[in-house]
Amino acid sequence: MAMHRRSFVHLAASAFAVSALAFPALAQAPSQELNIYSARHYPTDRQLYDTFTRETGIRIRLVEGDADQLVARVQSEGRNSPADVFITVDAARLARAKEAGILAAHGSALINQRVPEALRDRDGTWFAVTQRGRVIMYDKERGLPQGLARYEDLADPRFRGMICVRSGSHPYNAAMVASILAADGAPATEAWARGLVANFARPPQGGDRDQFRAIPSGQCQIAISNTYYLGHFGRSESAEDQALFRRIGVIFPNQGQGDRGTHVNISGAALVTTAPNRANAVRFLEYMTGHEAQEIFALANMEYPVVADAPLHPALQAMGRFRAEPVNAERLAANVAEGLQIIQRAGWR
């Protein structure tokens, strides 16, 4: 019996030794997960995540929220933060996330090759994945408003009582004002904001869609909106939506020779400094600049892609081509606070 027990112990020890050799290999296997903190809330993004998982086997855990709240969450989580990738809209918010110290350089030559320099952080942290132009819209049946070619023209008294726009405190408008502030300086921007408010057809209300929807009813003749909102009407199967899309004309502001170009809002992505799954994160960031992801953004969500060979939806093509203002996230972020003060003093609430 004693001999039998010794043999059993020997066999068990041998089995343990084999297991001990096997399990470290399993423990060192690459992680098959990725944690994304995103301030974008679009069904098309879920499509993109699902496609990435099918192609790579990497499971995505998604946390959605307001950009500033997500930045604060990563900061409070510290070294233990599960966040690998940070995604948000608005260049100024990307700049604030970088300033908060939560973003790291991705180090991907592929991303730098695909994304134009004007749409990348100079230190290699964040980069744009989509663009939307902030444009002026009008009623084609009434004709092109004469003398309206620049953002600055919106303050001209000839457009008194004609303009519809959402709240000035919304990030889209705050970024636009920050852009004008960077170009024209504080005194001129304050005068412009007061002139714009004097030209309002009604108190600011609703979202971007509500502004150009009010044009056919005669509530206003001019609206300020992002391109992708109108683009969704152009891809709609509704006859009513299609009729509205055909009726609304688009002016891409500041296209004259030597002028700065149309202000664009961007969505951007970045690697989180404490990312526990860094390799997966960089792989996903590269995927976002690839043809498949850029096509999803452009065709499904009506956003302008950031890579040169990505397709455009016909509805976006119908709006026309334009030259975009170069993105300077740090300057926009620095100007947002002053721009919001100007907005408030002008009565654009």
Q: Is the pLDDT of residue 20 over 90?
A: no
pLDDT band at 308 (very low <50, low <70, confident <90, very high): confident
Q: Domain extents for the chain? A: 33-131+263-312, 133-262+325-346
**Segment 200-226, tens digit of pLDDT:** 999 999 999 999 999 999 999 999 999
Burial class (CB in 10 A: 0-12, 13-18, 19+), 210: middle
**Segment 60-75, tens digit of pLDDT:** 999 999 999 999 999 9
Bigger pLDDT: 2 or 254?
Answer: 254
Q: What is the DSSP letter of 145?
A: P
Q: Is the pLDDT of residue 25 over 50?
A: no
**Segment 143-198, tens digit of pLDDT:** 999 999 999 999 999 999 999 999 999 999 999 999 999 999 999 999 999 999 99
Distance CA 338, CA 37 (A): 28
Kindly state the helix (H) or strand (E) to which residue 85 belongs, with its residue range. strand 85-89
pLDDT band at 29 (very low <50, low <70, confident <90, very high): low
Q: Is the pLDDT of residue 10 over 60?
A: no
Contact yes or no for 74/81 (Cβ under 8 A): yes
pTM of the model: 0.87
**Segment 255-297, tens digit of pLDDT:** 999 999 999 999 999 999 999 999 999 999 999 999 999 999 9
Distances in Å between the Cα of 199 and the Cα atoms of 160, 179, 190 are: 4, 20, 14
- Positive or negative torsion for Cα 228, 123, 171, 339: negative
Q: Across the chain, what does the average pLDDT equal?
A: 91
- The separation between CA 23 and the C-alpha centre of its own chain, rounded to angstroms, equals 42
Q: Is the pLDDT of residue 135 over 60?
A: yes
Q: Which CATH number fits domain 33-131+263-312: 1.10.150.120, 3.30.300.30, 3.90.1150.10, 3.40.190.10?
A: 3.40.190.10
Distance CA 222, CA 217 (A): 12
Distance CA 88, CA 96 (A): 11
Q: Is the pLDDT of residue 22 over 70?
A: no
| % of the chain residues with pLDDT over 90 | 88
Cβ atoms < 10 Å from Cβ of 308: 9
Q: Fold match between 33-131+263-312 and 133-262+325-346?
A: yes
Contact yes or no for 244/216 (Cβ under 8 A): yes
Q: Is the pLDDT of residue 248 over 70?
A: yes
Question: What's the pLDDT score for residue 30?
Answer: 63
SS3 346: helix
- The separation between CA 327 and the C-alpha centre of its own chain, rounded to angstroms, equals 12
pLDDT band at 14 (very low <50, low <70, confident <90, very high): very low
> Does domain 133-262+325-346 sit in CATH 3.50.50.60?
no
Pick the closest to residue 226 from 303, 319, 134 (CA basis).
Answer: 134
pLDDT band at 233 (very low <50, low <70, confident <90, very high): very high
Distance CA 136, CA 227 (A): 9
Q: Is the pLDDT of residue 11 over 70?
A: no
Distance CA 13, CA 23 (A): 15
Distance CA 266, CA 127 (A): 9
